[in-house]
């Protein structure tokens, strides 16, 4: 059975490099490409993947909200972050929130090949300095709570973070308005918050400080 990976990244050069790295391991490897989180979600729903390579910042999502969503959508599929934000704090948070690995966009091609090979083999890939002292495999409080949301609840949470009201969310997500309200009640309960503003702050807590594109 052919293996398949998903590259969710809006940088053409990075996508090209990752695709070359994947095909250096196995020329027959199937590679799906997505430039937004919405496209990545569509691809992940359509077919199973052996590995998801996810940019930390996409046009429709910034920070770790995309990682949390993809982990909820495909819990059995390893997800690795590929980002120019390669500070240790960012890498550790990615692993705490369920990423199997972290690859820097500045990594040379041979390192990308090595990383994808390890990840496809079921291993974990971290930059060298972190390999000796990997982060604990348990979510922090904020990330753990957001990570407990269902895919539908995460989509509603992202919608309220965009400032959309219930009627617009219902239209955009093709839901009945009472269903949106039900999701909101569940979101508030799981996050331990009392209102929309507090729920959005919980989601914002997943964004690395001073985020830049990548």
What does the CA dihedral 104, 106, 112, 115 come to, rounded to 10 degrees?
A: -30
pLDDT tens-place string over residues 20-29: 999 999 999 9
Q: Per the structure block, which two tokens stand in for 136?
A: 């604990």
Say if CB 64 and CB 70 are below 8 A apart.
no
Q: pLDDT tens digits, residue range 67-111?
A: 988 998 898 999 999 998 888 888 888 888 889 999 999 899 999
For the chain, residues classed under CATH 1.10.10.10 are 141-204
Q: For domain 141-204, which architecture applies?
A: Orthogonal Bundle (1.10)
- Whole-model pTM above 0.95? no
Residue with tokens 């690795």: 80
Structure tokens at 20: 């070359």
Superfamily of domain covering 4-131: Response regulator (3.40.50.2300)
Q: How far is CA 60 from CA 9, 159, 179, in A?
A: 11, 11, 23
pLDDT digits (tens, 9 = 90+) for 20-61: 999 999 999 999 999 999 999 999 999 999 999 999 989 988
**Please, where in the chain does CATH 3.40.50.2300 lie?**
4-131
């Amino acid at each position: 059975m052919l293996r398949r990976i998903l590259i969710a990244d809006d940088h053409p050069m990075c996508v090209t490099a990752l695709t070359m790295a994947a095909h250096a391991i196995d020329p027959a490897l199937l590679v799906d490409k997505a430039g937004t989180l919405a496209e990545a979600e569509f691809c992940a729903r359509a077919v199973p993947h052996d590995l998801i390579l996810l940019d930390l910042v996409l046009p429709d999502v910034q920070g770790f909200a995309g990682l949390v969503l993809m982990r909820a959508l495909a819990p059995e599929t390893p997800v690795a972050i590929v980002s120019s934000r390669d500070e240790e704090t960012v890498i550790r948070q990615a692993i705490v929130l369920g990423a199997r690995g972290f690859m820097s966009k500045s990594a040379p091609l041979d390192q990308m090949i090595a990383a994808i090979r390890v990840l496809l083999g079921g291993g974990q890939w971290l930059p060298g300095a972190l390999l000796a002292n990997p982060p604990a495999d348990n979510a922090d409080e904020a990330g753990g709570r957001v990570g407990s949301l269902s895919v539908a609840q995460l989509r509603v949470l992202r919608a309220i973070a965009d400032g959309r009201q219930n009627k617009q969310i219902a239209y955009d997500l093709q839901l009945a308005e009472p269903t949106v309200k039900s999701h909101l009640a569940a979101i508030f309960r799981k996050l331990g918050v009392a209102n929309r503003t507090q729920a959005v702050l919980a989601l914002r807590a997943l964004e690395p400080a001073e985020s830049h594109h990548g």
